[in-house]
Amino acid sequence: MWWFRRNKTIGLALSSGGARGLAHLGVLKALREKDVQIRAIAGSSIGSLIGAYYCLKGEIDSLIRIAHETDWRRLLGLLDINPLTLSRGGLLEGKRIEQFLKELFADATFSDCGIPLVVVATDLRTGRAVEISEGPLWKAVRASIGIPGLLSPVEMGSYLLTDGGVASPIPVITLKKRGYRPIWAVNVLASTPRYPVSRQQLGVLEVLEQSLLLMENIVAKTQSQLADGCIEVDTSDVPFYDFTKAKDLIPRGETVAHRYL
């Protein structure tokens, strides 16, 4: 890794992982503290949200504050459950989440980013990863975070887009194709959830999470091997839906990144 030691410049691929991805904030914080220059970011699902914010703002302190302020009351306020939307592919209508993203990114587009950004989603029609690098940031992120069955897919051109983690949980290849090197991956999917195997002890959310993360875990391992370096954060004790764990996950990501550096 002599090329990194010489100029401390990298391309960064941020994994999917739901709430576990809050650890990305800690990793980015550590990279900034060590003056690591990020040339480009490719993000999938939660990695796309955090990556988009960093590329647009050039900092993550304000996003960390939002994460710290998120409690169950605020989290539940984003969930507009509507059984009628099941016919459109999701239990949640998604309007409140879209409003949150619009407030976070306003009218910003990819061209407003100071750092090149690629958001990765999955096309339900073909099963292929779709790389988004133009248009409104909020809409691209909304497509990438659409957890199958919970958030309805997003129509974008000829694509019907859902969670990027389905096809590309760690989009290293997205950066490789664009000529960036070295590329580091941040993987919060390295460990599977610590859940009991007894059917009586599993709820609907646990079954959904275990199924999705087991699938993403396998693909993530393969994709992370394409990177020149990989920061793996063990988040296996955190459910994918528990965004109230920022005060634990952010320092965890920061500690692992400092150790890696």
Of the listed 15, 16, 48, 163, which one is catalytic?
163
Is residue 163 annotated as a catalytic residue, yes or no? Answer: yes
Q: Which residue in the block uniquely carries the two structure tokens 């949200």?
A: 49
Active site residue 242: no
Angle (CA) 75-76-79 rounded to 5° is 105
Closest by CA position to 145, among listed 130, 131, 161: 161
Out of 44, 45, 144, 152, the active site residue is 45
Q: What is the largest CA-CA distance in the chain?
A: 56
Residue 20's SS3 state is helix
Q: Which residue has the tokens 């993403």?
A: 216
Return d(Cα 15, Cα 115) in angstroms, integer.
Answer: 18
29 contacts: CB under 8 Å, gap ≥ 6:
60, 64, 250, 253, 254, 257
Q: Supply the residues annotated as catalytic.
A: 45, 163
